[in-house]
Homo-oligomer: A and B are copies of this chain.
Amino acid sequence: MSQSDLEESLSFVPKFDAAGLIPCIVSDAVSKTVLMFAYMNAESLELTLKTGEAHYWSRSRQSLWHKGATSGYVQRVVEMRTDCDQDCLWILVDVAAQGKGAAACHTGRKSCFYREVTMGDSGPVLTFKDSERLFDPKDVYSS
């Protein structure tokens, strides 16, 4: 498929990397805040499209990951998009209906992006931002 076809056609030909993965940006469907960033393989992408619930590939555990299977906070996919060269996905998920406890981050925060990077006097530094914990990870993930 030519570059032009890839960009302008309506054929979905996701480009997986050498490890068989495609990056996936996950935003809150309402606020569009980025909640997390993960990877999908062909199987998790297919399951996401078929079930309407986000599935990823966990690189650390090397296994299929149905987001929310442990915490209960599954991510209902409202919309999925792909980019111009089809090597990245962006999904918009509905978490509002799950109430206050619906945290995308395993640290218990709504979003994984809870720290801002700014330039300090001696290099970049972090500052907490929107870092309120919605749950205590120990309560959710202890076995």
Instruction: Say yes or no for A10: interface residue by CB 8 A criterion.
Output: yes
From B83, B109, B119, A36 is in contact (CB under 8 Å) with B83
Question: In the assembled complex, which residues on chain B have CB atoms less than 8 Å from the CB atom of A10?
Answer: 115, 125-128
Question: In the assembled complex, which residues on chain B have CB atoms less than 8 Å from the CB atom of A88?
Answer: 37, 112
Tally of contact residues, A, Cβ under 8 A: 45
Whether A106 lies near B84 (C-beta < 8 A) is yes
Render A101-124 as a binary contact track against B, CB cut-off 8 A, 1 for contact: 000011101001111111100011
Instruction: Say yes or no for A129: interface residue by CB 8 A criterion.
Output: yes
**Known contacts A49-B124, A80-B116; can you find 5 more A-B pairs with CB under 8 A?**
A12-B123, A31-B32, A81-B114, A84-B114, A88-B112
